[in-house]
Chain A
Amino acid sequence: MNEQDIHSAWNSGANRLDRAAALQLKDELVRRLRRQRWRELAWLAWTCLLLTVLSALLVPWLVFHGRFDPRTDWVLVPLLGLPWGFAIHFVRQFRRRRAAAARAALSIQDALRAAEAENRAAAATLRRVALLQGLFALLLPVAIHQLHAAGKVSGRELGQMAFLFGGILAGGAAFVGLKYFREVRPEGARLAGLLESYR
């Protein structure tokens, strides 16, 4: 295939877009994106509302009714903070996706640099989350023990709580580990390779 063949193949009818199919695909995508956005917004709003109501009920009940002794029940504070931490993380992620669109105005090389910086930030966040999970793995037995010692949890419930929260923590750790080693780090290496090709 010589230069002329290349250009004639490139400009042939075979290289045209089936416009009707593309427009159909576009319409479907727009509909789905709208639905997805509403679902995400509804989920975030529902989660934040639920947490607000729970916190608004629980905190005054614990503090003003003398049910909370900071010396023995302090571990409830980080445990209540954990779901709020996750909720804030999801809201930030939701907003960040919109900010990523601004990258489109950059040249590809600059966009790759921005993506690499974002990848490094994501890796650092995952390392911090893993650290937090380790911290909570240490706090959890203390919290359960405190509840049991205060007579708020029976021996049978103690085992169930340990199993449930231990399972949640183990699942979270597996998720973070998989995301870090199978997604974020390989992506970082790939972006570094692409940037290298510009040098």
Chain B
Amino acid sequence: MSPAEHEACFDRWIREHGAILHRVSRAFAEGAGQADLMQELLLALWRAVPAFRGEASPATFVYRVSHNAAMTWRRAERNYRRYVTAYGNDATTAPAEASAPDQERLERLYAAIRRLPELDRSLILLALDGVSYREMAAVHGLTESNVGARLTRARARLADDLQGEHP
């Protein structure tokens, strides 16, 4: 893959699937860490572009790369913190037109997701994005029945956590 093709592919994926990275960064990090993680996800995706062989859809590939990077991301070791410069948290903030109650509800949901163990967190994110069990199984290297069983437990845990809060 030539450098121009590499960059064109990366650019297309950010335009079409950038929301995946945004959601993953919010589910796996909080506060200033979200910008750090967003950078890490962008970097992971940039490096992963040559490994894309078209066996899965680009969206599945982006899910795999971003969830993998988020699960192994360590806040303590931020090699790429220097990339978080002028743009800071901008890439992880919601569009200006989003209403305050929506933002507040969403933040509560993300906070509850962040309290789940990493694997459950990843599965819940994929489920909320409407990814099929088959794709989830391929992304994680699990069987579909295993995905189903884990998701049932994770959903129950998330619901319990959210019901314990004030509306």
Chain A residues proximal to chain B, CB less than 8 Å: 1-3, 5-7, 9-10, 12-19, 21-26, 28-30, 32-33, 97-98, 100-112, 115, 183, 187, 190-191, 194, 197-198
Docked Cα-Cα span, A17 to B34, in Å, equals 13
- Contact of A28 with B105 at beta-carbon distance under 8 Å, contacts A1-B162, A13-B97, A18-B94 already known: no
Contact residues of A: prevailing secondary structure = helix
Within 8 A of A (CB), among B41-77: 42-44, 46-53, 55, 61, 64-65, 67-68, 71-72, 74, 77
Chain A residues positioned under 8 Å from B7 (CB to CB):
30
Q: Which residue of chain A has its CB nearest to the CB of B56?
A: A105
Chain B residues positioned under 8 Å from A112 (CB to CB):
68, 71-72
Partner of B91, one of A7, A21, A101, A191: A21
- Contact of A21 with B87 at beta-carbon distance under 8 Å, contacts A1-B162, A100-B47, A105-B51 already known: yes
- Contact of A15 with B23 at beta-carbon distance under 8 Å, contacts A21-B91, A109-B140 already known: yes
Partner of A26, one of B10, B118, B162, B163: B10
Docked Cα-Cα span, A109 to B55, in Å, equals 18
Number of interface residues of B (CB under 8 A): 67
**Nearest-CB distance from A175 to chain B (Å)?**
15
Docked-complex contact B109 and A105, CB < 8 angstroms: no
Within 8 A of A (CB), among B74-102: 74, 77, 83, 85-87, 90-91, 93-95, 97-99, 102
- Contact of A10 with B128 at beta-carbon distance under 8 Å, contacts A25-B38, A197-B119, A198-B142 already known: yes
Q: Which residue of chain B has its CB nearest to the CB of A97?
A: B47
B106 interface residue (CB < 8 Å to A): yes
Docked-complex contact A101 and B64, CB < 8 angstroms: no
Docked-complex contact B74 and A187, CB < 8 angstroms: yes
- Contact of A108 with B122 at beta-carbon distance under 8 Å, contacts A21-B91, A23-B14, A198-B142 already known: yes
Write the B8-24 contact mask toward A (1 if CB under 8 angstroms, else 0).
Answer: 00110011001101110
24 contacts between A and B (CB under 8 A): A5-B105, A6-B109, A12-B99, A13-B99, A14-B106, A15-B23, A16-B98, A17-B18, A18-B90, A18-B93, A21-B93, A28-B85, A30-B46, A100-B47, A101-B47, A103-B68, A104-B48, A104-B52, A106-B141, A110-B141, A112-B68, A112-B71, A115-B72, A183-B77
- Contact of A15 with B94 at beta-carbon distance under 8 Å, contacts A104-B64, A198-B119 already known: yes
Docked Cα-Cα span, A197 to B103, in Å, equals 31
Docked-complex contact B22 and A190, CB < 8 angstroms: no
